[in-house]
Structures are given as C-alpha cells and as structure tokens.
Amino acid sequence: MSTQAETSTSVEPVIRCDSVYMIFGDNAHSMLKQANGVVDHAKFHEAGCIVGVNNASFEVHKGELLIIMGLSGSGKSTLMRCIARLNEATAGKIYIDGEDILSMNDKQLIELRRSKMGMVFQSFALLPHKTVLENIAFPLQVKGVSTEDSMQRAKEMVDLVSLTGRENYFPRQLSGGQQQRVGIARSLAIEPDIWFLDEPFSALDPLIRKEMQDEFLRLQDVLGKTILFVTHDFDEALRLADRIAIMKDGIIEQLDTPSNIVLNPATEYVRKFTEEVPREKVLKIEAVMDPYDPNEDFSDLKVQKDAIIETVAEDVLNTDKAVAVVDAAGEIVGALHASHIVHVLFGGHADDAAEKAS
Amino acid sequence: MIEALRQKKHLQFVLLLVIFVLLCLIITPSEGNWFWRLPPLIQKLPGIITSSVDYIMFDWWLIDVWDPDIEDYEEKPMMNQFTRSASGLILFMIEFVREIFLGGVKTIVTFSGWDWATENEWARWPALPWTVVAGGAAILGYALQGPRLALFVGFTFVYIAVFGQWEPSMETLSFVLIAAPMAVLLGLVLGVWAFKSKTVEMVLNPILNVMQIMPHFSYLVPVVVFFGIGDHAGAIATVIFATPPMVRLTLLGLKKLSPEVAEAGLMSGCNNRQLLFKVLIPTARRDILIGVNQVIMSCLAMVVIASLIGAKGLGNNLLIALNQLRIGLALELGVCIVLIAIMLDRLSLAWADKQVDYFADLSFVERHKFSLMFGVVFVVGVILALIGSLVFKEDFNYLYLIPHNKGLTTQDFWQAGVDWIWDTFFYALKGFNEWLIVQVLVPVKTAYLAMPVFATFVLTMGIGYIVGGVRVGLAVGGFLLFIALTEWWDRALITAYLMTLSVLISTAIGIAAGTICSQHPVSTRIMLTICDTFQTFPSFIYLIPVMMLFGVTDTSVLIAIVVYATVPATRYTIQGMLSVPPQLQEAGSMSGVSRVQRYLSIELPMAFPHIALGINQTVVFALSMVIIGALIGTDDLGQLILKSLSDKDGVGNGLVLGLCVAFIGLAIDQVLRTWANQRKKALGLA
Ligand SMILES: Nc1ncnc2c1ncn2[C@@H]1O[C@H](COP(=O)(O)OP(=O)(O)OP(=O)(O)O)[C@@H](O)[C@H]1O
Ligand SMILES: [Mg+2]
C-alpha cells in the first residue's frame, strides 16, 4: 500500500488541506479574523466559540490510507466532516483532485459526493425502512440509476461484503457487524475514489472488530482507495495505516508513518500518546537490521525488509544464526541478529533503532 | 417551624389547605365583592373577536372579481372569495369520492350545469355495486398485508351493507378519505417546516398546545363563519382538529433522528428534496405513522361533531338517533363507525409496513394479480347487480345498493334489551341514579360554586408554587385569571367539578387496574389490547350505552367520562410498572419487605412519573368528554359552546369559551408535567 503513496508524490494529491480552521459559534468568523490565525482555546471559549479544527494542513495521495487519531473531542470527526463538507470550514482551503470544494455550489457538491465520496458511520446510519439491498442501492438510486442496474450492482456489493443470502433483511434483523458491512457496501456502491470511515468499528465487540478489520484490509487490497480513517484504537491504526495523524484540541500534532511517530515523536503529547505502544507492532525489520556481510553464516530463513517485527520475531529468535533480509525483488539487503531485536524491543535503546529507521 | 415547612412538602400542602378553608369561610358571597367573584373585565372580548372576524371576512382587502351573471367586474372581499373557492374545491373532492361509491350527478353538474344534467337523464354516474366495493377493499387488505386483514375489511363492508347503513357509511367514508389526507399533508408540511426553522417551531408550539386541549366544538363556529355549512365545512373543522397531533409527531420523529442518518443521506448524494422524502421522513416514519393513525382516529371522532355543521353520514344519523333516544339504532351506527375506524387504522398501518421483493422473478399474471383480481370482482359484481335488477324487479336491488335502513336490523333486539333492563332494574338504576345525583353530584357542585374566587386562586396558585416554584404558580394564575375575568367563571367551575370528579375516579380505577394487570405478562397484554381497542372508539360512542342505562342525566355524562378517561390512566400505569427495573424489585424482596410495602415504597414511586403523565392525559380526555357531554345536556361551558353555534355573535363566544376550557387543561398540565419531571430527575430517570 505504502509504495504507491511514495511513488506518486509528484502528481496532484487526492486531498489537500491548506490551513483549515473549523470554529463553531455564531461569531466564529470575526473571532478568527481578530485572532489572525493564532487560535487560543480559552479565549475562543469565552467568546462562545468552540474550536473543532485548528490550522490543519496536509495532503493525502492516491491509494494512501491516512488514519486520524486523538482523544475524544480532539476534532477528528470534525476534520473529516470538513473534507466531506458536512461542516463548512470557517477558513482555509480544501482541494479534492485539485478542485476547491469550499467554493463549490450545492449542485457541484452533490455531484462530487455522487461520484467520488463514500462514508461509513460509527452508528451505521442505515435507513431502517429499507432492506439490505435497498440500503446499498440507495446512493445509486438518488443518482438516477435505473432500479434494475442499481439492484444488480447492489447484489454484487452484497457478495463483496459477504452478506449473500440476507439481501431482503431489514437492518434491525442484522447484528452490529452485519449492519456495518451494509454500511461499508453502501459507501462503496458508487465506486468512490475517496473513502471516509469515522470510527467504523468502535461500536462492535473486539472479536467482530478484528474480523471486520481483516475484511477491511481484504477490501482495501482489492480496491486500493484513498482513505481517511478515524479511530481511537492504536492497534487498529497500526494494523491499517500508511500514515497516522495525531490530533489534540483541533491541532494536528504530528502526521507521519507509524514507525516515525513511535520512534520520533514530534511533541511531548505524541510521545505520551504513543508511550504504551508495543514497538514490535510498529517497527519494520528495516529498523533493526545490520549491514549485510557476505562472510557471515546465515540460516535458511529469509525475511522481507518491510515486514513488521512482530510477525517474524518468533522465527528469528528461534534460529541461532543470522537471518538474511531481502527486499521486494528478493535481493539481500541486510542481516538480522536475534540479539539486536531483543535489544531494541526490551533494552529501551530506541534511539539506536531510530537512527536506522530514518 | 419555618425550616420544617421548607423541607416538608406535605406540610406545605396542609397549610395551604387550611388557608383555603379559612378563606372560604371568611369571604362573603356578594355581587360587589371582588374576593368573591372578579368583575367580567374582558366581557367585551368575544364581541371584539366577532367583529374583527366579520371585518376580515366582508370588508377587508376588496378585489375586482368577474361576475358572469351581470357580465361585469364587481368588488368583493378577498377573504370571502378565497374561502368560497376553497370550499368549492373541497366539496368537489368529497362529492367526487362519494359518487364513486354511491353514484350521482353533482360532479357532472359542476362541469356542465344543472339544466344540462336535468335534460339528459343518462348523465349520471352509476354507483359501484356494494359487492365490488367490499371485494375491492378486501383485495386491498390482502395486497397490503394478507388474508386476515382482507377478511376483516371484507367483513366490515358486508356488515355495513347488510345492516342497511351503506349510504351514510359511504358518505362518512368519502368525507374521511378527503379530510384525513388533507390533515396528514398539512401536518407533515407544518412539522417539517418547524423542524427546519426554530422560529416556526417557537410560534407553532403554544398554538398547538392550546389547539390540542380546545374542545372540538369551539372550532365549529369560526369554520361556519368562514366556510359556511356543509360537508366541506365539516371536513375543514375536522382537518383543524386532526392536524395538531400530526404536526407534533412529525416534529418529534424528525428531531429524534440521529444526525448521522441525515449525513449518510447527504453523503449518498441526496439533494434537499431527496434527503427529506427518501431519508428523513421515511426514517421518522414510526412517529409519523402514529400521527397518521391519530389523524384517522380524530377524523372519526369528529364525524358526529362535524355533522352539527352539515356533514352528512353516520355522524348525522347517530346524532339524530341519540336525540330521539333510539338507542338500538344508535348502537348499530356506533358499531359501523367503530368498524370503519379500526379498518382504516389497520389499512394505514399495513400500507406503511409494506415491502417490495426486487428479485422475485414474477410472471405477468403474478405481478398484476391484484389488478386482475379486482377486475374479476368488478365484472362479477356488475353481473350480480344486473341479475339483481331482474330478480328484484319490484323491490330494491339488494345486489346493487342496499338503501338506507332497508337492510337487516337488530334495533328491535337492542331496544327490547334496553326496555328489559329498564323494566328489570328500574328501581335499582333509578335508586343509584338518584343517590349519585342527590348525595354526590349536587353537593360537590354546590361546594365548587361556593368557592370564592380569591380562595380558588390561592389554592391553585399555591399548589403550582409548591410543586414548581414561582414560575408554575404564576402560569397557573395567569390561565385562571383569563377565565375569571370572563363572565363564565361559574360555568367553568361546573366544568371543573365534572372534570375533577371524573379524573379522581378514573385515576383511582386506572391505577388499581393497571397495577393488578401488570403483575402478570398475560394480563398485561390483555389489558393493553383492551386499552388499544377502547382508544379506537370515537368519544361520543361512550355516550350510547350509558344513556341506555341512565337516560339524559349528569350520571350518564359522569360515567361516560370515567369510562373514557380511565383508558389513559390504566395504560400509563401499566407502562410505568413495566418500566420499574426488575433488579430493584429483587433488591426489595431480598431486604425482606412484604408485597404491599414493596408496592408502596418501590414500584409506585418509580412508576410515578409515567402515572403523572397518564393523569395528564386523563385530564385532557375528561375535559373533551365533559364538553361532548353538552350533547346530552349539561349546564357547563360545553353547553354554552354548543349554543354559540346558533348565535349571531357565536365566533367570539365560541373561541373565548374554547380558550377557557383549554386554559383549565393547560393549568393542570403545567403542574402535573413539572411534577412528573421533578420526580423523574429525583429518581435519576431523566
Ligand atoms: N456541531 C457542533 N457544534 C458545536 N461544537 C461542535 C460541533 N461538532 C463538534 N463540536 C465540538 O468540536 C470538538 C471536536 O469534536 P469532534 O466530534 O470532531 O471530536 P472527535 O475527535 O471526533 O471526538 P470523538 O472521538 O468523541 O468522536 C468538540 O469539542 C465538540 O464539542
Ligand atoms: Mg468523532
């Protein structure tokens, strides 16, 4: 997933935000003008304004999965909703495929949503009076696709999210996980380029959540959408993310790859936030490998350089020889020593590993 | 002492009562004494209202209108022209539906003129044979839900036809089929508008509050002034009466939606219209449907009252039957109304729950099976009617249209039953009746009338203050002050006496019955079903059986009110009891309290907020029934409202009297609602 993102930096990003502010309150605009872009929470609060998003600038590229994290009330949903223009950003510019969406009129906006955007909601937000099939076909029908075609397409989506056989169920007859599958299928029915997911799995219990994450990864493998994904759950973020944005009080504190966020926290807040994160779940083999020395005695085991440590650690620790690290093409690019893994993971000398990762 | 008072509410109540009694004793009843009765300072208000209405109707905003008779433009008031066109339109729609059922010439006349229609004998709509209507309706029931509904719908129509009530029933049905959709549409529009705009909601809210408690009668007079008399006027009065709950429930349903549903709609690419019609309204449809249901019930509840201003049909006949004391006939008519009510109720619910199967691969016949079935029914029905015209050459064609009162009848049976009851229980009934009137009703009424106005205010405002503080106390005072300043305070006291007495009895019965029934799931279900069924009966239906027993007396009214108003008390009690968490009951049992203790100390307090709302509903029900009691002769506000119908200054009188009734209700509503909310908060339920 990440390779695509890295190679396409030169082309127009799918989503680009330039100093986006979202302030709630009647006098938000005048307050923001006075403040000259420097937003102070306490002062705004006194004036009856609530800061949702505070000066957010970033880009998301085609096929990239950006996860937005932060505590409750940090503005994750608000940021996402600004990009979908469910909230009108108070200031700043938001571009989708180079088009300024804040200057779009209603008609253009509807057209944009009908052709490019899909969103999955935490509470599923299915239409209770429609069956699974009708729910999924809904975005197509409002677009004016004929009943026959939209039902056909909806049927395909039902198969895609493994709900075959339940087409004519009503949402109330489905479990939470199944309802969210419908939500996912609905958001994908129009084949959007950009996929918004706001805590899609938070309302599900852990077992189902794991299952849904697997499902999600499978779908993403097939579809390769550009994704904005909000979550509270660091494990989830690590499993899915290409890059992670960490928000606090409306400000994006850091936006980077998972390993960089863990290894090089940009602020004290991010460090605290990531403190408890188990390293082996974040770091790739790259970060702990030593230079390749052809004279060394290697075991038969070979590992990919961008594999997450956790996934191969057991095998590596079980061999007493060094393990060869290969890149995507199969070329050997380094050597892996069990002692080094143990050192990085349990010895606490993250700096050492960090140098190599960067 | 003071401190103890502040802590203990019941001490405050006792003190208030003492003061009240003292005031009653001290204040002398005399004409000039303001403590005894306030002067009727707003006596002129009805007159002012009447003349402003007259002005709007006949002098305001003159416009030029082409008059074809004198072939020239003429100046006419705008309002008059407007209401006249509206009346014409509604009347046409009603006639149109009516002539589908019953045949006729009026819609043809609308397009061609009387002369042409009289000259051409053939230019009449033939009626649909009743067999076709009944069969068609049954097919509709089948299509919407299944065989059971089909059976019920079919039975309803056959019953109506066989008992010779076809014509009035179809007249009523055509009236409801126009009035109900109008009310639903209007309510939906207003509800959505209030949802979109805070200002509209704020303006609408108090108006709806008053309208919902205003007695049905008070709408009639203004409607007559603006729209005249006839089916259309009845329909308009019905629409006015039936719309408020629809607005309420639409707004409630829309507000309850989670914002994510609306956002999901937006992200699916809906435009505003699609969002409203495909997402918001359907998602809120549970509540909206309850609204539709209420509209249908209100329409049927109005059929009798609308007949006072010229609506034809069952209501009219029922009113006449009641006036002539033909109880048997009234009973049959009542059954027809109830059957139609239940039928429409079920059909509308089934329609809302209907779903489509997209992937069923259906043949032409299957896809159009209901149309085909109707076609068959139509042809068979028409053939039967033709055969009928040969068989019943001399007589009425029973297979086409069973004429009014020419069907079977059980009147004599019921009449005999009534006579038998009278003969057998005459002394018992009479004894009870007299005892009740002499020992209970008259003394209570006298006591009410003997209250000095000042004492009444102290008592009611005091209760308001103790329950909800200064705000509620003042609100109660404000409502009552309006009534006290009209010339009808004594009448209002009579209304209040009937209302309070019956509310007390209803509440007692309701709480007892509800508590007992909620002890077991089966009895709970049975009781709720009974409540459901009773609530489908239009209110005046209750008058029929009590009049059978007690004739035209206050006893009849009182019992009818009690029966009618017990329904909400019972229902809310059951709901309250069911809402008590089972852990709490178990906790009670564990700590060794007895059954009765548990009831008094745990269940009743926990259920209280629900019960208080039930009492609130009981008050509303009782008030509306007290006013309907005017139809069989009471001497309270209702009687005056009924009189204002035939009065030249009726508009102002009717409206102000209606407001008086509404304000009694609102005053009580204020206190009970505040109380219920406080209890809820105290129990951590809100
Ligand atoms: N419509 C609104 N009006 C006023 N304030 C709002 C509105 N929507 C959000 N906010 C405020 O903006 C801030 C950010 O809210 P947001 O919903 O984006 O948080 P979040 O990070 O998504 O939290 P959670 O994890 O609980 O979903 C909060 O302080 C919230 O109170
Ligand atoms: Mg959120």
Q: What pLDDT score was predicted for residue A5? A: 44
* Ligand 1 lining (C-beta closer than 6 Å): A 24, 50, 52, 70, 72-78
Residue B94 counted as domain residue: yes
pLDDT, one tens digit per residue, over B321-331 is 888 878 888 88
Domain that holds residue A350: 280-357
Domain that holds residue B231: 130-414
Looking at the structure, tell me whether residues B294 and B377 fall in a common domain: yes
d(CA B332, CA B341): 14
Q: Average pLDDT of B111-117? A: 70
Residue B54 counted as domain residue: no
B253 C-alpha vs ligand 2 centroid, how far in Å? 24
Q: Which of A213, A239, A254 is the last residue of a domain?
A: A254
Looking at the structure, tell me whether residues A326 and A249 fall in a common domain: no
Q: Would the CB atoms of B258 and A123 count as touching at under 8 Å?
A: yes
Average pLDDT for chain A: 85
Average pLDDT for chain B: 85
Q: Which of A254, A269, A302 is the last residue of a domain?
A: A254
Residue B18 counted as domain residue: yes
DSSP characters over B579-616:
TS-HHHHHHHHHTT--HHHHIIIIIHHHHHHHHHHHHH
Kindly report which listed range (A305-309, B113-117, B272-276, B640-644) carries the lowest average pLDDT score.
B113-117
* Closest CA of chain B from A341, distance in Å: 46
User: Is the per-residue pLDDT at B233 higher than 70?
Assistant: yes
d(CA A94, CA A20): 7
- Encoding tokens for residue A166? 């339940």
Looking at the structure, tell me whether residues A122 and A206 fall in a common domain: yes
Band of pLDDT at residue A322, cut at 50, 70 and 90: confident
Q: Compute and round to an integer the Cα radius of gyration of chain A.
A: 23
A54 C-alpha vs ligand 1 centroid, how far in Å? 12
| Range 136-175 of A in CB contact (< 8 A) with B | 138-139, 142-143, 147, 151, 155, 167-168
Kindly report which listed range (A153-162, A346-355, B83-92) carries the lowest average pLDDT score.
A346-355
User: Is the per-residue pLDDT at B401 higher than 80?
Assistant: no
Q: Which residue's CA is the closest to the ligand 1 atom numbered 31?
A: A73
B28 C-alpha vs ligand 1 centroid, how far in Å? 65
Number of domains, chain B? 3
Residue A269 counted as domain residue: no
pLDDT, one tens digit per residue, over B282-307 is 888 878 888 888 898 888 888 888 88
* Closest CA of chain A from B610, distance in Å: 27
Find, among B378, B294, B305, the residue nearest to B344 by Cα. Answer: B294
Side chain identity, residue A352: D
pLDDT, one tens digit per residue, over B447-475 is 999 999 999 999 999 999 999 889 999 99
Beta bridge partners of A245: A68, A255
User: Is the per-residue pLDDT at A349 higher than 70?
Assistant: no
Q: Which of B102, B123, B144 is the last residue of a domain?
A: B123
User: Is the per-residue pLDDT at B519 higher than 70?
Assistant: yes
pLDDT, one tens digit per residue, over B542-552 is 888 888 778 78
Looking at the structure, tell me whether residues A149 and A293 fall in a common domain: no
Q: What pLDDT score was predicted for residue A348? A: 52
Check if A114 contacts B (Cβ < 8 Å): yes
Find, among B415, B347, B280, the residue nearest to B138 by Cα. Answer: B347
Residue A353 counted as domain residue: yes
Q: Which residue's CA is the closest to the ligand 1 atom numbered 11?
A: A52
pLDDT, one tens digit per residue, over A8-29 is 445 789 999 999 999 998 888 8
Nearest atom of ligand 1 to the alpha carbon of A87: 1
Looking at the structure, tell me whether residues A198 and A341 fall in a common domain: no
Band of pLDDT at residue A60, cut at 50, 70 and 90: very high
Looking at the structure, tell me whether residues A241 and A352 fall in a common domain: no
Which ipTM was obtained for this model? Answer: 0.82
Give the strand order in the sheet containing A65-70: A117-120, A194-198, A226-230, A65-70, A243-248, A251-256
Residue A261 counted as domain residue: no
Looking at the structure, tell me whether residues A284 and A205 fall in a common domain: no
d(CA A341, CA B65): 97
Looking at the structure, tell me whether residues A148 and A186 fall in a common domain: yes
Q: What pLDDT score was predicted for residue B360? A: 57
Band of pLDDT at residue B608, cut at 50, 70 and 90: confident
Q: What pLDDT score was predicted for residue A245? A: 94
pLDDT, one tens digit per residue, over A253-263 is 999 988 888 88
A249 C-alpha vs ligand 1 centroid, how far in Å? 10
pTM of the model as a whole: 0.81
d(CA B167, CA B153): 17
Ramachandran bin of A145, using left for φ above 0, alpha for ψ from -120 to 50, beta for the remaining angles: beta
Q: Average pLDDT of B49-73? A: 81
Residue B55 counted as domain residue: no
Find, among B421, B643, B382, the residue nearest to B545 by Cα. Answer: B421
d(CA A263, CA A353): 8
Looking at the structure, tell me whether residues B391 and B490 fall in a common domain: no
Q: Which of B81, B102, B123 is the last residue of a domain?
A: B123
Check if B361 contacts A (Cβ < 8 Å): no
Band of pLDDT at residue B357, cut at 50, 70 and 90: low
Query: Is B611 within 8 Å of B599 (Cβ atoms)?
Result: no
Band of pLDDT at residue A79, cut at 50, 70 and 90: very high
Mutate to test the pocket of ligand 1, among A50, A86, A121 (most ligand atoms within 8 A of CB): A50
- Encoding tokens for residue A228? 């904005």
Q: What pLDDT score was predicted for residue A352? A: 47
Looking at the structure, tell me whether residues A169 and A214 fall in a common domain: yes
Kindly report which listed range (A201-210, B351-360, B394-403, B524-533) carries the lowest average pLDDT score.
B351-360
User: Is the per-residue pLDDT at B177 higher than 70?
Assistant: yes
Band of pLDDT at residue B83, cut at 50, 70 and 90: confident
Find, among B128, B140, B122, the residue nearest to B166 by Cα. Answer: B128
pLDDT, one tens digit per residue, over A329-347 is 888 888 888 888 787 776 5
Looking at the structure, tell me whether residues B539 and B604 fall in a common domain: yes
Burial B619-647 (b: 16+ CB within 10 A, else e): bbbbbbbbbbbbbbebebbbbbbbebbee
Q: Which of B414, B448, B473 is the last residue of a domain?
A: B414
d(CA B74, CA B71): 9
Looking at the structure, tell me whether residues B377 and B312 fall in a common domain: yes
Residue A264 counted as domain residue: no
Interface test with A, best of B267, B285, B287, B362 (most A CBs within 10 A): B267
For B648, half-sphere exposure in the C-beta direction (CA atoms, 13 angstrom radius) is: 0
- Encoding tokens for residue B443? 């003394």
Side chain identity, residue B210: V
Looking at the structure, tell me whether residues B44 and B135 fall in a common domain: no
User: Is the per-residue pLDDT at B592 higher than 80?
Assistant: no
pLDDT, one tens digit per residue, over B191-202 is 999 999 999 999
Query: How far out from the chain centre does Cα A7 lie?
Result: 19
Q: What pLDDT score was predicted for residue B361? A: 60
Residue A1 counted as domain residue: no
What residues have their beta carbon closer than 5 A to ion ligand 2?
Answer: A 77
Q: 3-state class of B170 per DSSP?
A: helix
Q: Compute and round to an integer the Cα radius of gyration of chain B.
A: 28
Looking at the structure, tell me whether residues B576 and B632 fall in a common domain: yes
- Helix axes B489-517 and B442-449, enclosed angle (nearest 10): 130
Going from the C-alpha of B292 to that of each of B137, B180, B576, B667, the distances in angstroms are 19, 8, 26, 28
Looking at the structure, tell me whether residues B544 and B665 fall in a common domain: yes
Q: What pLDDT score was predicted for residue B79? A: 82
Band of pLDDT at residue B588, cut at 50, 70 and 90: low
Going from the C-alpha of A325 to that of each of A297, A307, B355, the distances in angstroms are 13, 10, 59
Residue A290 counted as domain residue: yes
Band of pLDDT at residue B653, cut at 50, 70 and 90: confident
A107 C-alpha vs ligand 1 centroid, how far in Å? 27
Looking at the structure, tell me whether residues B391 and B423 fall in a common domain: no
Check if B56 contacts A (Cβ < 8 Å): no
- Encoding tokens for residue B597? 């203790």
Q: Pick the residue with more confidence: B204 or A239?
A: B204
* CATH at residue B328: 1.10.3720.10
Residue A275 counted as domain residue: no
Looking at the structure, tell me whether residues A163 and A244 fall in a common domain: yes
Looking at the structure, tell me whether residues A249 and A350 fall in a common domain: no
Looking at the structure, tell me whether residues B163 and B84 fall in a common domain: no
Looking at the structure, tell me whether residues B623 and B637 fall in a common domain: yes
pLDDT, one tens digit per residue, over A89-147 is 999 999 999 999 999 999 999 999 999 999 999 888 999 888 999 999 999 999 999 98
Find, among B661, B655, B657, B481, the residue nearest to B39 by Cα. Answer: B481
Q: What pLDDT score was predicted for residue A350? A: 46
Looking at the structure, tell me whether residues A241 and A342 fall in a common domain: no
Q: Average pLDDT of B354-360? A: 60
Number of domains, chain A? 2
Looking at the structure, tell me whether residues A221 and A299 fall in a common domain: no
Q: Pick the residue with more confidence: B487 or B365?
A: B487
Looking at the structure, tell me whether residues B150 and B170 fall in a common domain: yes
Contacts of B64 (CB under 8 A, 6+ apart): B73, B74, B75, B76
Q: Which residue's CA is the closest to the ligand 1 atom numbered 20?
A: A73
Query: How far out from the chain centre does Cα A63 lie?
Result: 11
d(CA A164, CA B488): 71
Residue A2 counted as domain residue: no
Residue B168 counted as domain residue: yes
* CATH at residue A317: 3.90.1280.20
Looking at the structure, tell me whether residues B71 and B109 fall in a common domain: yes
Q: Would the CB atoms of A127 and B261 count as touching at under 8 Å?
A: yes
